[in-house]
Structure 1
């Protein structure tokens, strides 16, 4: 799986917004978000716009304006952010995994593609911004990350 720069930046910006939530200074400018996470401002502007269209952030215009989470950090999953900026979690040649079909030796491959999507959902749709911010990840995510070969490249 390739996690795009767009998705990485979106998650990092959302974490910065989650950190600001409830601090009394919960409106954060794109400039501030970019500075806090060392992100390119112009690229981040487009990403935040996608997040706003997806209903994950809200905005206030003006000199004292900025962005804030549209929901509590515990109610926004990493999967929500992935989909908002990059579309479906898993695609095969532009198709959803369950829409693929093959003949012959590859006949059972759609089942594998669906399982890949399900495994992504298990992590991304069950991990919230609040989980990541606090470092208290779901137990199954912690177990997966603690597997002996989880941190090794293959």
Structure 2
């Protein structure tokens, strides 16, 4: 699976929010902690907010926080928001036809793994058995 830098940054920002104490987390703090360029992060946070994954509040006490408990947000949720739904691979023909089944199985396994791991797992530093 190849994830864009944008998606990798989104996963890192979401993990930072999952690990934060309750209350809004300023974008500056997320950017500094995860070494994400601030302007890039602002666009990512906007996309996640529009998708309903996070909430935001303006002002001196403002920032971002998860819209649901970290236990209810999977890595698959974040990847879907940033990358969209996985694309079907082009058809394989002739002797290469079984490769289509291999790619489908691989993609299904990747999706299942991402769906098993939550932001709470990442924040706690303990993955479920994979």
TM-score, normalized by length of structure 1?
0.77
Match of 2:101 among 111, 132, 140: 111
Which residue of structure 2 aligns with residue 75 of structure 1? Answer: 72
Distance 2:2 2:14 in 1: 20
SS of residue paired to 2:16: helix
Which residue of structure 2 aligns with residue 27 of structure 1? Answer: 24
1:52-71 → structure 2 map (5 Å cutoff): 52-71=49-68
Flag structure 2 segments of 5+ consecutive residues without an equivalent.
none
Distance 1:118 1:12 in 2: 23
Which residue of structure 2 aligns with residue 129 of structure 1? Answer: 119
Which residue of structure 1 aligns with residue 5 of structure 2? Answer: 5
Aligned-residue Cα RMSD (Å) equals: 1.5
After TM superposition, which residue ranges in structure 1, 4 or more long, deviate above 3 angstroms?
none
Displacement, 1:48?
0.8
Which residue of structure 1 aligns with residue 15 of structure 2? Answer: 15
Aligned length: 130
TM-score, normalized by length of structure 2?
0.90
Distance 2:15 2:92 in 1: 41
Higher relative CO (CA 8 A, sep ≥ 6), structure 1 or 2?
2
